[in-house]
A and B are shown apart, each in its own frame.
Chain A
Amino acid sequence: MKTKFHIKDLDLFFKEEKVLKQINFEIPANKILGIIGPSGSGKTTFLRALNRMNDLEDGTRIEGNILLDEEDIYKPDYDVVALRKKVGMVFAMPVPLPMSIYENVVYGVRLSGVNDSKLLDELVEKSLTASYLWDEVKDRLKTSGMRLSGGQQQRLCLARVLAMEPEVILLDEPCSGLDPISTAKIEDALTVLKKDYTIILVTNNTKQAARVADNTAFFLMGELIEIGSTGQIFTTPNRIETNDYITGRFG
Chain B
Amino acid sequence: MQDNFNQQIENLKINLIKMASLVDEQAEKAFTALETGNVELCRGIKAKELEVNIYDNLIQTQCENILALFQPVAVDLRFIISVMMINNQLERCGDIAVNIAQRVKKTNEHHSLIAETQILEMGKQAREMLKNAIDSFINNNIDLANKVIDSDESVDKFNKQIFKALVLKMQNETQLIEPCAHLIVLTRHIERLADHATNIAENLVFYVNARIIAHKKKFEKWGVSDQTID
Contacts and interface: CB of A to CB of B under 8 A. Distances in A.
B142 to A, nearest CB: 16
A234 B74 contact: yes
Contacts of B2: 248-249
A148 interface: no
Interface in B1-51: 1-2, 5
Nearest to B70: A248
Given A235-B210, A236-B210, A247 B75 contact: yes
A237 B1 contact: no
Given A235-B210, A236-B210, A246 B74 contact: yes
A234 B5 CA distance: 18
A38 to B, nearest CB: 14
Interface in B68-126: 71-78
Contacts of A234: 73-74
A210 interface: yes
A235 B2 CA distance: 19
A247 B210 contact: no
A30 B210 CA distance: 30
Given A248-B2, A248-B5, A235 B71 contact: no
Interface in B149-188: none
Contacts of A206: 73
B3 to A, nearest CB: 11
A243 interface: yes
A237 B74 CA distance: 7
A174 B78 CA distance: 30
Given A235-B77, A235-B210, A247 B72 contact: yes
A147 interface: no
Contacts of B76: 247
Contacts of B210: 235-236
Nearest to B6: A249
Interface string A212-251: 0000000000000000000000111100000100111100
A243 B75 CA distance: 8
Contacts of A235: 73-74, 77-78, 210
Contacts, number: 26
A170 B117 CA distance: 72
Binding site secondary structure of chain A: helix
A195 interface: no
A75 B209 CA distance: 46
B90 to A, nearest CB: 25
A247 B72 CA distance: 7
A61 interface: no
Contacts of A236: 74, 210
B12 to A, nearest CB: 15
Contacts of B74: 234-237, 243, 246-247
A15 interface: no
Given A210-B73, A235-B210, 18 more contacts: A206-B73, A207-B71, A235-B73, A235-B74, A235-B77, A236-B74, A237-B74, A243-B75, A246-B73, A246-B74, A247-B72, A247-B73, A247-B74, A247-B75, A247-B76, A248-B1, A248-B2, A249-B2
A156 B204 CA distance: 49
Nearest first, the 8 A-B pairs at minimum CB distance are A236-B210, A234-B73, A246-B73, A247-B76, A248-B2, A243-B74, A247-B74, A246-B74
A13 to B, nearest CB: 33
Nearest to B5: A248
A243 B73 CA distance: 9
Most A-side CB within 10 Å, residue of B1, B5, B75, B78: B75
Contacts of B1: 248
Contacts of A243: 74-75
Contacts of A246: 73-74
A237 B5 CA distance: 20
B42 to A, nearest CB: 44
A101 B75 CA distance: 46
